A and B are shown apart, each in its own frame.
Chain A
């Protein structure tokens, strides 16, 4: 499969008054055209910052120290602001976390979408309006002509989210970043939004980077998963593999922490808390929460090793590291 996005050795720091915060530490992952990749981790693990970095939206006091982000072979980090803005919307689009504040309250839903056609493609107002109507229909808005005239405060949360998805799709991006698209929505609305994202990805061949803290969401939507902890990528695996053989102790803990409706299990929260990224521990950042911590974890950073088909894990308990530790 063609590689759409390659993130390599990405390091992002934030320089704050309280000192240097090492938000992303050597993050690597790739995405193929048309696939849905889940990016999972607790709050504060660097998921959203990764998304912002891909869009070239890390602003002061944040700084990208090292790494490359290649989108269709072009290193986005080497582009000027003008060149980058040509990729936003057309190449990569984003659905942000809060669906209320992502819409302009003084423009009607239809106008927010049709404007994009005027900006991106220079359409006339009438053509743009017609295309906005088609797009609302595509994202499953019933009676789109009437909805076009309504303002964000007249729409329900789920409806707002559909409008935002329509806006993100306006310029037919190849990659759609969905940052917690269902947080704050009811379960039934959330389920329908996730179904919609899955359908759209199939219909329009758009790749989706789905950022979430909920492995349940991932299981029903994604093809592959990348798990992040405290700014480090700890495991990537195809979806079935991840749930059947979670390798990293953090992934295992995350899987156990989900309240389940289908079976009776005891709740086991992930032990400990995310370490402060101001002075993160040297070595593996999961060391102080890990039940299987070894001496080597406290000094060296584990590299990604393959433990199965397309399944990588950064943990000393696997591969040749294990022999080195023994």
Chain B
């Protein structure tokens, strides 16, 4: 079966401009931030892929490239068997109907001057020729789907709680019957109890509607509950990819292990085997030959300066590390 979404060798670099880069440009260099530096993955129908990493690793840039909110520099994105990097106009609009996005900040993602009805009807007006009655019907169906009260349809964002606002965002994303929803940190701005509620809602929606999710988060615990497979990103590349169970049971890459060991556990007697990375993420403007983690990695050896092969350490479990 061909996957719903196939991404291959996706790269996005942002050219640097301004006075600081003059000298470099005179030398003939073209300074750029390599936000995404060769990312490949696939998502099957009804599957959730978790994309995990710290801020600045390029997760959101991947999401934006998929939806063509920003243009990828190179690489191929095939959605439902069709190459979408070259689409424009009407065709691109049709593709976007099938690929929707939910953003991190539920308040900033809503237009404060549109009430719940107009917000959710907007994609319907855009993508379908519907009579007002049909739109009303779809609206009430979607609202029920995400667990919002029907009495809230005339409310404006400021009248809603944060949890309700995130439900409106999700309702808007699923209104036009998409097959893939990109969730960019949908739970990060929420408190613990709301977070579990939204996770349960997304899980239920996926089962009922057969949606595929790309779930982007730095919160690896939320990802654990939703994702079937997980890709861990560091500095523009995927360093480890595996199905959820084996990633949590046997994480191989030092970066993954460091991420997992810093998750707080609600048990005072639990002590992580802490794997601490030194320093901070290095600048993404450099080109790298070897392992990108080597300046911070406690296991780094001389070999890490050379090109790191992508190895399959178990069926379906890929790691970008010499020693994992």
Q: Which residues of A contact B (CB under 8 A)?
A: 42-43, 142, 156-159, 186-192, 194, 213-220, 239-240, 243, 253-255, 257-262, 267-270, 273
Contacts and interface: CB of A to CB of B under 8 A. Distances in A.
Interface string B35-65: 0000000000000000000111000000000
B219 interface: yes
A270 B218 CA distance: 23
A214 B264 contact: yes
A217 to B, nearest CB: 5
Contacts of A257: 192-193, 196
Nearest to B222: A259
Given A259-B225, A269-B197, A215 B262 contact: no
B192 A213 contact: yes
Contacts of B221: 259-261
Contact of A190 (B191, B224, B262, B280): B262
Interface in B147-202: 161-163, 191-197, 199-200
A142 B270 contact: no
A259 B54 contact: no
Contacts of A258: 192, 196, 266
Contacts of B259: 187-188
A214 B196 CA distance: 12
Nearest to B188: A184
A319 to B, nearest CB: 25
Q: Which interface class (under 10, 10 to 19, 20 to 34, 35 or more) fits B? A: 35 or more
The 3 closest A-B pairs by CB, nearest first: A216-B264, A191-B262, A213-B191
28 contacts: A42-B191, A42-B192, A43-B191, A43-B194, A158-B280, A186-B54, A187-B262, A188-B258, A188-B259, A190-B264, A191-B261, A194-B264, A213-B191, A214-B191, A214-B264, A216-B263, A219-B270, A254-B192, A257-B192, A258-B192, A259-B222, A259-B225, A260-B221, A260-B266, A261-B221, A262-B267, A269-B193, A273-B161
Contacts of A216: 263-266
Contacts of A142: 279
A159 B191 CA distance: 24
Interface string B237-260: 000000000001000000000111
A217 B218 contact: no
Given A258-B192, A259-B195, A261-B263, A267 B200 contact: yes
A269 B265 contact: no
Interface string B265-307: 1111110000011011100000000000000000000000000
B219 A187 contact: yes
B220 interface: yes
A219 to B, nearest CB: 5
B108 to A, nearest CB: 14
Given A186-B55, A267-B199, A219 B192 contact: no
A317 B258 CA distance: 43
Nearest to A242: B268
A240 B269 contact: yes
A243 B191 contact: no
Contacts of A188: 54, 258-259, 262, 277
Nearest to B164: A273
Contacts of A214: 191-192, 264
A218 B161 CA distance: 25
A216 B219 CA distance: 13
B264 A220 contact: yes
A190 B266 CA distance: 15
A273 B162 CA distance: 12
B263 A42 contact: no
Given A259-B195, A269-B196, A239 B268 contact: yes
Contact of A156 (B195, B270, B277, B280): B280
B264 A186 contact: no
Contact of A259 (B56, B199, B267, B277): B199
Given A42-B194, A259-B222, 14 more contacts: A42-B192, A42-B193, A187-B262, A188-B258, A188-B262, A218-B266, A240-B268, A255-B266, A257-B192, A257-B193, A259-B195, A259-B199, A261-B221, A270-B193
Contacts of A239: 268
